[in-house]
Chain A
């Protein structure tokens, strides 16, 4: 499977009025392939998250296209795009993304239920074991620390063996040991056939990447 972005741009208006428009992402071309881990680095505000959000089908670009198996994501209806995202994509957002009324385990299994897939309970338990959160399976998210929530989000993204994993600062809030563990798990997911796209400030992440990209003021470059 290939996800191809061509001429992808995104303009924002900071305030009202055309004069304050700025380009968060300037025309970018990128292909994400199965079995490959791509790491994107760059300074804060350089447009990394915006690019990731557009690639993940969550933010309509101002120009260009994102195609998956020759289907332009942003030409699909909302229901079709949502179905496609649920089936093929997994997102680890930068912010807290737990559903507060579900337990940790239910949160982890929720995306697969949404996609109508069989709940990958044993895969989830194995990942939770490795990330040290198996004892929290029946706990509500409101009782978790920031690091535990992050590890829950990583488990949720990887448990359903998605085709594409979009991780935005997946190691934020984590100690060194857990940072290594999360990057290793993402690497393993790529080795198992997924295409993993990681946005990070973590310098060590480069060691895990098949491909390293850099962004500066909206411009995407290969490193």
Chain B
């Protein structure tokens, strides 16, 4: 038995006291780590949404909002579809101030089997697209063929599996990296595949409200404006007729999300600060109260030849061990809840939510552990100082 093992022995010999202190530290670590991961996930989700929307203006039929809010498709993965004539794309392309314009066609699948939700199918034109292709390109080098699809990270179909949409078997040839947005629950295909799917839906008497050729409709037109022209272009597009359109500024979508995210992040930060203040006060008080009971023992150590520094070291090491142990449990618990429940957290917050990678998680965990150890040591400083100055007369006189 060497003196440096004494702090651990002291903790193990008093499981009740150790457990009470550990629980407080667990709260510190849990709140800091879980809060940081959630705030970071929301920020990553926002960044990812900005990248994926990738356009200045998004033009949808004026009737779209009556059906489903287009923003909900991008943010929450709500399914929806609405159409306008493909001639609108040509009209917009011809307008002054347009740098790039590309159309997408939306279709919501029926529930494919008993255990699946309807999924959003998004058709895009590989020739002109500038929002989906860069993203798909990260995972898929070859071009998409007929009835070939790429699926979002949360669609439950593996590569080389087929998914049936309105009776058509589509081959999954790639899965996309997660974005933390509603776009993760969509299926992506070319315009040709989409036309075939729209025809299949029509053949099954699915009400799509398309007049004429399904190959000649679009749902949304993504427009990149010439620098400095976005405002003027928006006004010009708004004034077009046949059909009337709604123009959504991508920046508005992201700034709305940013505002909500700011609110959530603020609430989480306030909660973390409150938990920390309360837990630190309780921890300091607990160390002081529990230290009071140990005066006799520390006096005995002093009588046996231990220096004041040695006594303070024991008290600080005990606090450090409790902090380390509690910190690890807190981080473990946070991970145990955050990882499996990320889907639920995302749907509850209704905001893009992209969990950081394991490297970032590791750095966050290390930072949390450091912060908790520092806080635990600080909380025990008063108690350590008191114990190191213990009055030796507590044991030199019987009954003192």
Query: Which residues of A pack against B, CB within 8 Å?
Result: 49, 52-53, 56, 58-59, 78-79, 81-83, 85-87, 89, 91, 93-102, 106, 109-111, 113-115, 140, 156, 168-169, 172
Contact = CB atoms under 8 A, between A and B. Distances in A.
A-B pairs, top 8 by smallest CB distance, nearest first, are: A86-B305, A82-B307, A101-B13, A97-B300, A95-B395, A106-B1, A85-B305, A101-B9
Contacts of A98: 300
Interface in B62-99: none
Contact of A114 (B13, B304, B397, B400): B304
Size band of the interface chain B makes with A: 20 to 34
Interface of B: 1-3, 6, 9-10, 12-14, 296-297, 299-310, 392-400
A99 B399 CA distance: 17
B12 A101 contact: yes
A95 B397 contact: yes
B3 A113 contact: yes
28 contacts: A58-B303, A78-B309, A79-B307, A79-B309, A81-B307, A82-B305, A82-B307, A82-B308, A86-B306, A89-B305, A91-B304, A93-B303, A94-B395, A94-B397, A95-B296, A96-B296, A96-B300, A98-B300, A99-B300, A101-B9, A101-B10, A101-B12, A101-B14, A102-B9, A110-B1, A113-B2, A113-B3, A114-B306
B395 to A, nearest CB: 4
Given A86-B305, A93-B303, A115-B305, A49 B397 contact: yes
Nearest to A56: B303
Nearest to B394: A95
Contacts of A59: 392-393
A41 B246 CA distance: 104
Nearest to B388: A78
A78 B309 CA distance: 8
A100 B395 contact: no
Nearest to B307: A82
Given A95-B400, A101-B14, A110 B304 contact: yes
For A95, A96, A110, A113, which residue has the most chain B Cβ atoms within 10 angstroms?
A95
Given A91-B303, A102-B1, 19 more contacts: A49-B397, A53-B396, A58-B302, A82-B302, A82-B305, A82-B308, A86-B304, A89-B305, A94-B397, A95-B395, A95-B399, A95-B400, A96-B395, A97-B299, A97-B300, A97-B304, A101-B13, A140-B13, A168-B396
Contacts of A169: 398
Contacts of A79: 307, 309
Contacts of A91: 303-304
Contacts of A111: 304-305
A58 to B, nearest CB: 5
Contacts of B304: 86, 91, 97, 110-111, 114, 156
Contacts of A97: 296, 299-300, 303-304, 395
B182 to A, nearest CB: 57
B306 A82 contact: yes
A82 to B, nearest CB: 3
B308 A114 contact: no
A193 B387 CA distance: 35
B1 A109 contact: yes
A111 B297 CA distance: 14
A61 to B, nearest CB: 14
B3 A93 contact: no
B396 A110 contact: no
Given A58-B392, A97-B300, A78 B9 contact: no
B308 A78 contact: yes
For B299, B301, B395, which residue has the most chain A Cβ atoms within 10 angstroms?
B395
Contacts of A100: 13, 297
B312 to A, nearest CB: 11
B247 to A, nearest CB: 73
A100 B306 CA distance: 16
Nearest to A79: B307
Contact of B396 (A78, A94, A99, A109): A94
A65 B12 CA distance: 42
A109 B3 CA distance: 11
A58 B396 contact: yes
Contacts of B397: 49, 94-95
B394 A110 contact: no
A15 to B, nearest CB: 17
Contacts of B395: 93-97
Contacts of A78: 307-309
Nearest to B305: A86
Nearest to B299: A97
A81 B303 CA distance: 12
